[in-house]
Structure 1
Amino acid sequence: MAIIETRSPARVRLKAAVSGFLSGGVIGVALACFVVGAILERWLVAAIGVALFVLNVIVVSVAGRVHRARNPRTPARTALAVIESRRAISGESANVPVEFVLTVAPDERSAYRVEIRQDINLVDIPDYRPRDVVVVRYRPDEPWDVEIVTEPTEAWARRAATESVDSAPESALLAGPKDEGSFCLLGTLGLLLGAALVVLPFRADLLAAVDDESTTTSSSSSSSSSSSSSATTTTTTDGFSWPTTSTTTSTVSGTASSEAMLSDGEMRRAAGSLITGMRTSSAAELTIEEHVMAVRGILGTPAAPGTAIDLNAVPYERLPGLVRVAQTKLGITDPISWRITFDPAPKTGVLTIHVSVTDAEGAKASLEADAQARITARHPR
């Protein structure tokens, strides 16, 4: 089927392409100025972005009015058309989109074919059968812009009922301009280039701001304290014995807070900050709650084998999944808090993870998992 495609004059297309590129560039500069200014707290840059955006809106609006004033659209006219084919597209409302192929027969020009899509009420679809004559409205300067008149005047309804319309050949199928896609591409390209012109000069400051933000969110506050423990031994020489005291271990405690410990990677970031601050990855106790991670670290050799928790070996990425299982699968309908504790077995060091949840009425449920965060026991409500 041949399609007669109408194209705008080359000069008009070039002017529209340049305007789209420049408008996209101004919008890109404006948005980038606003975002960069807000991130870096340089409010003058943000104000420039807002001013550019408002100025662009005003210029585009005025230019559109001037164009419409110089090139007024031709008023729509009424004509008869015959339905060549129809195809209903499924819809979710009473009005169903229908694709029509029409032969439009204006009184002042030769007939032509056109493809349109129009919403038709589901009840009225049987009234639009192939070869039926209908009343349409079209624009002489844009003949592809056709709309079926669902409630024509009495005179046109009488003409549609009494007159016939011959089908136009398939080669007379008329289509509108197809240049909008390239214009949109140029506008997008202008937007990206405009944004790059602003972002590139500030890239170093932006990277520094992102690094500072990640550092502050990983551990918003931490505190530590230390204490020492000692062991008493007995030394015997030539039948005489006396006690001697030697310090074997010391402990250091620390806490790290976060807005949401269940966020991706947040637990490991908090643990990393505590390991750095305490200067040890061995812990006697580790507790994780919604906003706090608390650790009692061990400096030196543990008093008993298997009593230390290796903070680097904890499967932090799987712990949020255990919390979600405890919140949804253990009979707690409205959990308000959760808590994770770790229990290394004496001597063997086999780690057991305990996850408990509590609802508003104080009811509790819990589960247990091994060192790889595989559930081994459940204790429902």
Structure 2
Amino acid sequence: MVCGVIIKSVPVFVTGAGLLVLTVVVLLVLERRREAGKGTSVTRTALALIEDLRATGGETADVPVRFDLTVAPDDRAAYRVTVNQPINLVDIPTYRPRGVTVVEYRPDEPWEVEIVTRPSPEWLRRAETAKVDSAPEFTREKDRRKKAGSSCFIGLVGLLLGAVVVILLLRGELFDGSEPRPGSPSSSSSSSSTSTFSSSTTVSGPSASMLDIGRMRDTAESLTERVGTSSVAELSIEEHRMAVSGETGGPKNGARAIDLRTLPYELFPGLVREARNTLGVRDPEAWRIDVEPASGGRDLTVRVSVTGNAGEAGKDAKVFLEADAQGRITKRHPKN
């Protein structure tokens, strides 16, 4: 059922619910049959040899006593059994080790034995004159009903195994395509060909941002591992996204590349704040960093653009500043 809810599959949910109901019904039927059989079973009378007895309490008139008995039925071999039964304090001296007493037992549940405290005269005479030999220890009968609880345990284990099988069969639907956790990097797109590549990573969450301390460098290292090189042709950074693109094996035709390992990412948040606060944008809405590789006589350039209400330039105007590889501002647009 849980799997059905997770993958939003009605057939899986209905099947799981049906199996659960079927298991419960079967266990209830078995328990009812066992109880019904117990109610209709008959008891028989037999003699028993008291191997040992021990009082397990003594605060009331009826003292709990544990008897170790050898029961000697007329229609089957003698067997050993342990019986716990309260005996009136006055009758305690009547029971002694190696003494013979009268008991009642169930043929279908021979461990169900009860000492008859007031036997009939006939059985009383038999107990006084009979001799009962001790049965060996291996004949001891134990309460098999305790194993009934194991059937519930087996049923539970069966359900768990069934759930494991369903999860293994549906692991693709259960675990593929999971959404990224808030605040953790997650891949948003990646494509490659024999000559070019592009890849991007996003961070999600109400407070996650590329401006967080160390976030840009960690993301750049992740992208470097993903594309297999630190040399790229283009790099762009936004509030929740970093993207790179380039050519396999590095730029061709003498073009320069951007080395993701050498950029001063720790200075970029300061450049963004500078652009938002000093370029005349009253209500900055978004920012973007574009890193352009050196070309010709021009050094590597870091361009920080801000979008928002820029006064005379109007709403949604884009202003920017440029900085060099050391984070020094070299240009502002518009000029102050």
TM range (shorter): 0.3 to 0.5
Higher strand fraction (1 or 2):
1
TM-score, normalised relative to structure 2: 0.39
Structure possessing the higher radius of gyration over alpha carbons: 2
TM-score, normalised relative to structure 1: 0.36
